[in-house]
Amino acid sequence: MNTRKIGDVILDIQNISLRFGGVKALTDISFNVREHEIRSIIGPNGAGKSSMLNCINGVYTPSEGSITFRGQTFSHMNSRQVAEMGVARTFQNLALFKGMSVIDNIMTGRNLKIRSNILMQALRNPLGIGPAQREEIRHREFVEHIIDFLEIQAWRKTPVGQLPYGLQKRVDLGRALAMEPQVLLLDEPMAGMNVEEKQDMCRFILDVNDEFGTTIVLIEHDMGVVMDISDRVVVLDYGKKIGDGAPDEVRNNEDVIRAYLGAGH
């Protein structure tokens, strides 16, 4: 665990339940996330971890409960609205454009900001072409900054589909960072990676948290990683919360140990 200053609650999940027909994917889940924290969600396969992130970022609408982000409470908000509020995410299965270059993929994360700003300028100054172009240059510079930060300069123009899997995951992180999120939701960013790729990804997550001050909600199966980098951990099992606390508390929680042994982990 690192020693950054953890702030107030930025994201508060209150009594969230989610059903798919007869399947109760989530049952009455509550937990909060503090500013600048690395907050992990763990649990066996099918526990409801991805569903939880999907509720937070507006992909699913929970059947019960509410989510408060920076004091604003919502239960029905679409992904775009959540993104505009400052929540970005990466997906368990990569959502990149394989035929497009690294730089263009990361730029897609910037589109949200570009579109809203260009519209604002058009409203303020209908004939002004110059400011929009300057704006575009600033966005490109920001994307270049992310590319440097993630150390992927060598592949800027390479189609993403030609990159090794570990680098594709890094580009996906870059796309999310391009949104300049306050909260970053990461769904298994290290799944399928070799040890070296995992170490790199771990370092980038810690650097994002440290240098950009981004709050991170992380789903991860690798217990070593989770115990190393998390400030606090939520444990889900069959859609229910069975543990919540500092890594050491969670590691020694009997319900958690039982859930993992039972699931064959």
Residue 177 binds which entry of Mg ion, ligand ATP, none, CB below 5-8 Å type-dependent:
none
Residue 3 binds which entry of ligand ATP, Mg ion, none, CB below 5-8 Å type-dependent:
none
> Interface with Mg ion includes 50 (CB under 5 A)?
yes
Q: Determine the angle formed by the axes of helices 195-207 and 165-177, rounding to 10 degrees.
A: 10
Closest distance to Mg ion from the beta carbon of 259 (Å): 16
Closest distance to ligand ATP from the beta carbon of 241 (Å): 12
Closest distance to Mg ion from the beta carbon of 13 (Å): 17
In the complex with Mg ion, the residue whose CB is nearer, 150 or 186, is 186
Closest distance to ligand ATP from the beta carbon of 161 (Å): 23
In the complex with ligand ATP, the residue whose CB is nearer, 46 or 86, is 46
- What Cα–Cα distance (Å) separates residue 231 from each residue in 28, 46, 255? 23, 24, 20
Residue 45 binds which entry of Mg ion, ligand ATP, none, CB below 5-8 Å type-dependent:
ligand ATP
Tokens of 27: 């049952």
Closest distance to ligand ATP from the beta carbon of 105 (Å): 23
CA dihedral 102, 103, 104, 106 (to 10 degrees): 80
Per CB under 5 A, contacts with Mg ion among 90-119 are 92
Q: Which residues contact 170 (CB under 8 A, 6 or more apart)?
A: 150, 152, 200, 201, 204
Q: SS in 3 state form for 24-58?
A: EEEEEEEEEEECCCEEEEECCCCCCHHHHHHHHCC
User: What single string gives the DSSP state of each residue in 219-257?
Assistant: E-S-HHHHHHH-SEEEEEETTEEEEEESHHHHHT-HHHH
In the complex with ligand ATP, the residue whose CB is nearer, 140 or 265, is 265
In the complex with ligand ATP, the residue whose CB is nearer, 46 or 159, is 46
Site residues, ligand ATP (CB under 6 A): 20, 23, 25, 43, 45-51, 92
Residue 51 binds which entry of ligand ATP, Mg ion, none, CB below 5-8 Å type-dependent:
ligand ATP
Give the whole-angstrom CA distance, residue 101 versus residue 11.
34
Give the whole-angstrom CA distance, residue 56 versus residue 70.
13
Closest distance to Mg ion from the beta carbon of 191 (Å): 9
Give the whole-angstrom CA distance, residue 17 versus residue 240.
9
Give the whole-angstrom CA distance, residue 33 versus residue 8.
8
Q: Supply φ then ψ for residue 30, to 5 degrees.
A: -130, 135
Residue 48 binds which entry of Mg ion, ligand ATP, none, CB below 5-8 Å type-dependent:
ligand ATP
Residue 243 binds which entry of ligand ATP, Mg ion, none, CB below 5-8 Å type-dependent:
none
Q: Supply φ then ψ for residue 95, to 5 degrees.
A: -120, 50
Residue 20 binds which entry of Mg ion, ligand ATP, none, CB below 5-8 Å type-dependent:
ligand ATP
Closest distance to Mg ion from the beta carbon of 44 (Å): 11
Q: Which residues bind Mg ion (CB under 5 A)?
A: 49-50, 92
